[in-house]
Amino acid sequence: MTAAPVTVSTLRKMKTSSEKIAVLTAYDATFAHVLDDAGVEVILVGDSLGMVVQGRESTVSVSMDDMVYHTRAVAQGRKNSLLMADMPFMSYATVEDGLHNAARLMQEGGAHMVKLEGNANQVEIVARLTANGVPVCAHLGLRPQFVHKIGGYRVQGRDEQSARGLMSDAVALEAAGADLLLLECVPQNLAADITQRVSIPVIGIGAGVHCDGQVLVLHDLLGVTPGQRPRFSKDFLADGGSVYQAVVEYVQAVKEGTFPGPDHSFN
């Protein structure tokens, strides 16, 4: 990994040069150090911590205090990776709330970018955040914070109308100033079309190999998540070795385009 810290400009240059971006979650300083050392460009402090750290059934219960605490811990372990933190459920229900809570993640937690789930309805908050110097990643497709509204964890964008809606949302959020898009559980052909349409980097999870980068939950990558893991995940520790080596192999697989494969994608 380059000795220089990864920035938003770094990620844009990687998209332009067709260099894949490796993203992983972390929730503490020790794992942040491992990921940083292994060459992960972006470390995401995900509200997935509600499930894999706190043992909850969804991410909805995660609070701002939880996110600030874990973001601050990860900030102590990273050196070069860009640090992105999730805005938890209802923390950006109003523009004022979003501005206040994004400031907390950056000032108290040390985040370089915030991620929020939404669609074109979030154009105003994205525009206000970016106008105030906050880099934003917009999370489209399957949005775990909306799990109770949509009735479960389902692939999004399979029919023509919803596919057009996702494309429209992506374009609108880029225009509002989003620096990054994350597509979760989206058909791979649609994800490829969105990736080509927008000029900002697109990170996929269950969205096929044609995105500009990939993200996984660290616990899924290490095969330690209890119960059934998502189809789009892969256990990189299954063949033995160390945690560090598993992360290195993930980074290499993303860079080489061998992950995700057909078994980890949706049509």
* 236-253 confidence digits (pLDDT tens): 999 878 999 999 999 999
Domain ranges of the chain: 8-264
Query: What is the chain's length?
Result: 267
CATH superfamily of 8-264: Phosphoenolpyruvate-binding domains (3.20.20.60)
Q: Is 256 a catalytic residue?
A: no
Per-residue model confidence (pLDDT) at position 239: 81
pLDDT, mean of residues 56-67: 95
Work out the angle at residue 181's Cα, subtended by the Cα atoms of residues 129 and 132, and round it to the nearest 5 degrees.
Answer: 10
- Report pLDDT digits (tens) over 79-88: 999 999 999 9
pLDDT, mean of residues 75-101: 97
**Separation between Cα atoms, residue 62 and residue 17, nearest integer Å:** 37
The reported pTM is: 0.95
Among candidate residues 41, 117, 184, 249, the one labeled active-site is: 184
- Report pLDDT digits (tens) over 99-122: 999 999 999 999 999 999 989 999
